[in-house]
Structure 1
């Protein structure tokens, strides 16, 4: 059994990730086994969670995953002393039309799992109004229980006292108040936080955040506010068909966006995974029967990828007889060309005719439901797949056979259909779960 909490906030940018990392490391320093989860589609925060806890962090998503799948993924916390599930956006923020078990809101996970919410409030520019915000979130949905509040970026002792008094008057516990402290601010990138493995100083940043949390937050009170939760013994609630028996998986700084639960589901189904690094000019293992290029930041490495001849040659040879599939960034690399943010044109592998550009940024963000028009590795035509799309590239040309009819969460058809040519296929959306 594990003590469990959801860490959420009224909005993005309030400090959820910083507090999650600080608490995770602070409790780990006390000798507890801490398991983190991330609510919603996100590749970057879980890498930071793993750096803080020494354990793999896994995504759970109420729009794409059925309840039994979420409970199956949550079984990662079976041997943990403490579960910290970091939310996304604001506590109740999701899409307008529900998916298989919710709208993707953090509140869905809190209610479904019975995990109380530790709310991060940034009272900058306000005082008593912060209590009104917290009280509104507490009372908005009956099935969601508020454990208490941690204040972030408090300006002064007087400011903290005003907010604490107002929260006490509303019957809301305050577990601590973090001062403004630039040293624990995580660097940003256009898709979110810079990935943890790219930051040599990440351990020091997390250690400093933990030190500040231990000094300014009542860790005992936070722990006491958590509920006791027991993981399900059934770990087979998430079923995903692997794309092949032996999968050559691109894995490096340019191809790092792959969900842990997907890899585990592939392995649970009997598949083997062999990784290779396109940035190191490596190609897929010739013993594999399928190659998978996940998303990442290929636009930051386009010049190197364009000149890595061994990677391009072996991938092209592989695709003559076996399936190759790319997701988002991987899809772009399978295309004919990529223009980076500096308007520099880079020739890609040319397995597909797709041409993309970052010269004129255009954000594409949201859940996606795809119905395959033609097969892709692991899935037949007609299969329905749930995932999400998040990138800033623009399609210049997408001339090949349409892979799928792709809709957003409202049911509207989107232009990013994916494509297929011969054994090569690709999508802009990242697969989260099969729609069963």
Structure 2
């Protein structure tokens, strides 16, 4: 069985308008009656939630640095098929600039170009032409020739100032033999709201469905939708090629209690789907609704998210905190990033007010003194853990602004990590009794 046609929607740099274009195309093609599969290059929790809202289906992360090629192809296959047939189209949103990644083996740099090359999907290039006209063609030519593995299907111009501006940029680009398939004028009416870790989460935006419809109408009005669909190409991977036992991460327990609400929303669908395929039972609960982890579960997992925006409510969630402490007396608890902070002694919000947290781990955390920590991480477990034996390797990333204050008697480390640039290995996270946590977000087993 061949895969359905697909496109990687990428750009020469961040901030070019990839997300708006991707969401508009996803919703517009879905409104035409097509079944649209969705994917996101690289480590990102927020964009896939918008993809799901736009298409009605889960979106999958595809990461060439953290994922072995066979896993990446298997996840692409999952995005390309419904329960009983192939989707009509797969749209994969790139990350940063098309070729931006880290040092790594060929095809394993984390760049969007790696995903396009491995899967055989051509690239629809979103080009911000503000402040330039014919010079945009030089940028497009560079993208078209920089990596021979990558095929540019066409360009979409964004932030076009006038008909003359559009004509000058389009004629220069098309003289290269690359079609211009759309031109989006400048607009301030459909911007997506942002905060410190990126876009405001999809579930927090009132009237999101209407907003997606406006984005779709805007994109469809200024793009040649038939030409874009024609330029999509079938990938050179086979659907269903790697089915169930292949998963990004083995389940850490049989029955897993998972916090899920707007404070704990950073959950990779491919991790959860893999756990389900391998037979784990997932039980969701809401700390913000003052729900404790279900006592009949074998392990509690607190994902990342935005607990710093809800620190007062979490500190007042007495049933949740008491239930979490009771759970940790006999069963494992693990927190990633935001979840890690809730397991600590306190969480200080950006105004400088400290809120008491679960107290299961030693550090206290603060957003009053912020420092950005960002990048891929290669980790090895410091000791045997539900996630693996001592020394087991995990690949993932950090993206947080919080600072941590270690206690006088530091906890044992959760893992030892180094970055993708060959940095010195450092201890990461905390472990105390059955409770563990770290700023490290797992993408896949190493």
Instruction: State if a TM-score over 0.5 links the two structures.
Output: yes
Decide which moves more: 412-421 or 335-344.
412-421
Matches within 5 A, 1:7-406: 7-76=9-78, 77-78=80-81, 79-98=86-105, 101-229=107-235, 230-236=238-244, 237-397=246-406, 399-406=410-417
Deviations 1:319-366 (A, max 9, x none): 000000000000000001111111111111000011111111100000
Give the whole-Å Cα distance in 2 for the aligned partners of 1:49 and 1:393.
28
Query: Which secondary structure does the structure 2 equivalent of 1:21 belong to?
Result: helix
Matched residue, 1:424: 435
Instruction: Determine if contact 2:429/2:437 at 8 Å carries over to the other structure.
Output: yes
Instruction: Determine if contact 1:75/1:235 at 8 Å carries over to the other structure.
Output: no
**1:239 deviation in Å?**
4.4
Give the whole-Å Cα distance in 2 for the aligned partners of 1:40 and 1:4.
17
Deviations 1:55-83 (A, max 9, x none): 10010100000111011111221221000
Q: Which runs of 5+ in 2 are unaligned?
A: none
Give the whole-Å Cα distance in 2 for the aligned partners of 1:50 and 1:366.
25
Query: Which secondary structure does the structure 2 equivalent of 1:254 belong to?
Result: coil
Matched residue, 1:434: 445
Give the whole-Å Cα distance in 2 for the aligned partners of 1:43 and 1:58.
10
Change (3 A) 1:9 1:390: same
Give the whole-Å Cα distance in 2 for the aligned partners of 1:234 and 1:409.
27
Query: Which secondary structure does the structure 2 equivalent of 1:183 belong to?
Result: coil
* TM-score, length-scaled by structure 2: 0.95
Give the whole-Å Cα distance in 2 for the aligned partners of 1:212 and 1:268.
39
Deviations 1:286-305 (A, max 9, x none): 10010000000000001111
Instruction: Determine if contact 2:248/2:271 at 8 Å carries over to the other structure.
Output: no
* TM-score, length-scaled by structure 1: 0.97
Give the whole-Å Cα distance in 2 for the aligned partners of 1:290 and 1:369.
24
Give the whole-Å Cα distance in 1 for the aligned partners of 2:12 and 2:234.
25
Give the whole-Å Cα distance in 1 for the aligned partners of 2:77 and 2:98.
23
**1:233 deviation in Å?**
3.2
Figure out how many residues of one structure are paired with residues of the other and give that number: 434
Give the whole-Å Cα distance in 1 for the aligned partners of 2:144 and 2:346.
50
Instruction: Determine if contact 1:34/1:81 at 8 Å carries over to the other structure.
Output: yes
Deviations 1:156-203 (A, max 9, x none): 001001001111212210001011111221000100001101112211
**1:411 deviation in Å?**
2.6
Give the whole-Å Cα distance in 2 for the aligned partners of 1:411 and 1:329.
26
Instruction: Determine if contact 1:68/1:238 at 8 Å carries over to the other structure.
Output: no
Instruction: Determine if contact 1:325/1:376 at 8 Å carries over to the other structure.
Output: no
RMSD between aligned residues: 1.2
Give the whole-Å Cα distance in 2 for the aligned partners of 1:380 and 1:112.
31
Give the whole-Å Cα distance in 2 for the aligned partners of 1:415 and 1:375.
18
Give the whole-Å Cα distance in 2 for the aligned partners of 1:75 and 1:316.
41
Deviations 1:358-412 (A, max 9, x none): 1111000000111111123231211111011000001121620111111111231
